Structure 1
């Protein structure tokens, strides 16, 4: 004899479309936050390469000056005359301008940087940049 009880239904497994759309929206929000931060971190590491290259050149110039009392001695980095030396990964080209008593080093950027432009360093240790954020941010 058949009972008139409740018919059992199969339970469905899986996600509804609404649940999937919520997950996609959350992932999109996280990506919108994380991607700009990641890109700025990459630009910061590129700027660090430029600053390190300028510090390396400055150290070479100071070593030269202590040996020959001039920034244009034979052991000093050569004046570029328009040509430039690329940094290790090519993110900057280093431009050297020197006289017997002074030098100015400029790191010309070769990548897209929204906030910081070219970096420069003089014989007095004066740092500069051509962007909009300022020396403390870019250096």
Structure 2
């Protein structure tokens, strides 16, 4: 009686496949996370452009921009204009703008805010210039906050790691 030869994988063949999969994963995972961060930054740039457009509409209606801050909970608080007479005495009790990037606060990667523009040591009136800021909710080891002013000046801040980001990384 003849025995049939057993078919299957040897342990060595299985270990080679596992090693190849491990090497591919080690290369692919950092590229994947980098792509995710790039996508979130692009979403933040889009949200900043939309917010700046809303601020321009607010300017045409009230003769000044609206400064506000957004807490990590997503609650936005309008700031008093600096100086107080900058908006002709108009103050906002609530923020009529979208204060996060993405389709919802839970899914958004950045929180938005607006502040007076600064240049060196000078601070401009909120009626003259506004700087909108996208602050990441999570960690981004390459870029901190993305910022753009109503005059078109774009920049970004360093992340908590302290590495100075390149402009092309923030605003490609």
Could you tell me the TM-score, scaled by structure 2's length? Answer: 0.65
Partner of 2:64: 71
Task: Please give the root-mean-square deviation of Cα atoms over the aligned residues, in Å.
Answer: 2.2
- Separation in 1 of the partners of 2:137 and 2:152? 23
Q: 8 Å contact 1:70–1:101 — kept in the other structure?
A: no
Equivalent of 2:135, from 94, 108, 111?
A: 108
Q: Which runs of 5+ in 1 are unaligned?
A: 1-6, 73-77
- Separation in 2 of the partners of 1:25 and 1:130? 40
Alpha-carbon distance, 1:134 to partner: 1.5
Partner of 1:62: 56
2:37 aligned with 1:43, yes or no?
Answer: yes
Alpha-carbon distance, 1:68 to partner: 5.3
Which of the two has higher C-alpha Rg? 1
Could you tell me the TM-score, scaled by structure 1's length? Answer: 0.79
Partner of 1:96: 114
Count of paired positions: 127
Alpha-carbon distance, 1:59 to partner: 1.5
Give 1 or 2: higher helix fraction.
1
Alpha-carbon distance, 1:86 to partner: 2.6
* Secondary structure of 1:26 counterpart: helix
* Secondary structure of 1:133 counterpart: coil
* Secondary structure of 1:61 counterpart: helix
2:68 aligned with 1:80, yes or no?
Answer: yes
Alpha-carbon distance, 1:8 to partner: 5.6
Alpha-carbon distance, 1:79 to partner: 1.9
